[in-house]
């Protein structure tokens, strides 16, 4: 059997943790759930919890240091995604959107533009991300399955 990638989860605000666990159990992929505070995870040998404390970017730094070509990182954080892609990891947003070398530059630029717009709004609210939908959950499951299959095929 080909190697199964390790899944690293930026867990503090991740809306798809339960889906990740289900895929992990089915595919026997080990999962490391990284958070700034202790969160509940299934009591299962495939699931590891890492609590990094509340220092700024501590979870991001831990995940980026652990990311390799043998990992799939789950995060909505564009800057963390960029760091992990540079380390060779596959990266998927909780909405199922993959971050790739080809798409990350545009995502970073869009993030910067939106940050500038919010900063210049002067108290007016500029919308944040779209609400998480059932379709996002379904797309995420499909993307995670595809990423695991790709890793297995290349002998990750």
Which domains occur in the chain, in start order?
Answer: 6-151 (3.40.50)
pLDDT in tens, 5-57: 999 999 988 999 999 999 999 999 999 999 999 999 999 999 999 999 888 89
Mean pLDDT of 60-84: 95
Q: Which residue has the tokens 């043998």?
A: 70
Give, rounded to a whole angstrom, the gap between the first and last alpha carbons of the chain: 11
For residues 145 and 23, the answer to whether their CB atoms sit within 8 Å is: yes
Mean pLDDT of 135-148: 93
φ/ψ bin of 17: left (φ > 0), alpha (ψ from -120 to 50), beta (otherwise): alpha
If pLDDT is split at 50, 70 and 90, which confidence band does 126 have? low
Mean predicted lDDT score pLDDT of the chain: 86
């Amino acid at each position: 059997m080909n190697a199964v990638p390790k899944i690293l989860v930026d867990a503090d605000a991740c809306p798809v943790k339960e889906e990740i666990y289900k895929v992990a159990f089915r595919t026997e992929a080990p999962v490391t759930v990284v958070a700034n505070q202790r969160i509940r995870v299934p009591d299962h040998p495939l699931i590891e919890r890492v609590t990094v404390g509340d220092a700024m970017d501590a979870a991001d730094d831990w995940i980026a240091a652990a990311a390799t070509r043998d990992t799939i990182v789950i995060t909505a954080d564009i800057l963390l995604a960029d760091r992990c892609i540079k380390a060779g990891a596959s990266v998927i947003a909780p909405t199922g959107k993959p971050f790739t070398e080809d798409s990350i530059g545009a995502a970073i630029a869009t993030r910067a533009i939106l940050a500038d717009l919010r900063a210049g709004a002067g108290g007016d609210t500029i919308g944040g991300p779209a609400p998480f939908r059932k379709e996002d959950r379904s797309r995420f499951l499909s993307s995670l399955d595809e990423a695991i299959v790709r890793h297995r095929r290349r002998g990750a």
